[in-house]
Amino acid sequence: MNPAMPGLPKKLAPTMIVEILRECTDETHHMTQQEIREALLSRYEMSMDRKAVKRNLDSLIDMGFPIEFSQAKRMMPDPKTGKVHESVKTSDYWYVHDFTDAELRLLIDGLLFSNHIPHSQRLDLIDKLAAQSSKYFAPHVRHVHTAPSNLPYNPELFLTIEQLDEAIECGHKVAFAYLEYGTDGRLTPKLGEDGAPREYVVSPYQMAAREGKYYLICNYDPYDDVSNYRVDRMAGVRITDEPVRPFKTLEGAGQGGFDLATYMAEHIYMYSSDNSWCTFRVTRPMVSDVIDMFGHDVTFSDATDDHVTVTARVNERAMWQFAKNFAPDVLILSPQRLADQVRDEAARTLAAYEDVRG
């Protein structure tokens, strides 16, 4: 709780009541008017009678603050006439937070397993998310502070995201240095032929997360295709005055604008290479993995008890990686050149192991 702050004017009472309810109540934890009075006194040294608390609560509700309450009917005698009449009592006030606890847990779990955000920055964000609920939510996320991380701290990460978002919104290119690991485990800028840090200038179209990493989908100036760069590997991002290259002018883009859903379905590993219709044979237990990876926009055919043929439009290098990861349960049938590449690499891998064994 906040330390007591004596001497605050009564006109701040509505703000104090909102803060008390926001921190101390939720859908399952409520406060009575008397408990609100006690909190005002202990936290802010502000003495307020029950009627004044009720007036402030009514005003806040009338103004649209997300405050709920329960009502109960009771029979009360009129102090003047003695006649009994029905009265409605309001009590058990609580603040309706923007996020439910389940929604916050979903967001926090997403952060916890986001490999593109260094651990210390994840914890800062988790603390901010936890503060969006009442004090009763915080104990449920204390365990995340023990989660390990092997990512280096990138102090520019969130500034980079802001810069990229602004550039995409205003339609301008961005320039940046791109980092890579050295044998000492440190991130350093890639160097150009002159030995100086190399500057990349790209047309940004969208940012997207894939497999726990955050990517910028863009076009690198010298080429006519789409490239993907890790956002956490960028440094010194600046927005240029040059407008982005229209996406429809890129190879294979068609006449429409950038479609993120289509792009992500075709680039399951965020590789940059040609897209094509691929046909591959998988074992029946692989069907769920295929849908998880490629989505529902695939075609199944020639099913047997053990195998099924799949047809999907996908990035060729990603298809190559998928077949490699799940071999021999995935075998590429077409295009033939891609099948040959995977087969030849498997042969080279086998030969390398034979050499090692002597």
Which pair of tokens denotes residue 216? 């910028």
In total, the chain counts a number of residues equal to 358
Which pair of tokens denotes residue 26? 């939720």
The mean of the pLDDT values for the chain is: 81
Contacts (Cβ under 8 Å, ≥6 apart) of 38: none
Most confident of 89-98, 132-141, 319-328: 89-98
Predicted confidence at residue 80, as pLDDT, reads 73
Position 62 pLDDT exceeds 90: yes
- Out of 251-255, 304-308, 354-358, pick the least confident: 251-255
Predicted confidence at residue 93, as pLDDT, reads 94
**Residue 275, number of CB atoms within 10 A of its CB:** 19
Tracing tokens 């609560």 back to the chain, one arrives at 57
- What would the mean pLDDT of 85-111 be, rounded to a whole number? 81
Contacts (Cβ under 8 Å, ≥6 apart) of 210: 264, 267, 268, 269, 270
- What is this structure's pTM? 0.49
- What would the mean pLDDT of 12-37 be, rounded to a whole number? 93
Choose between 309 and 147: higher pLDDT. 309
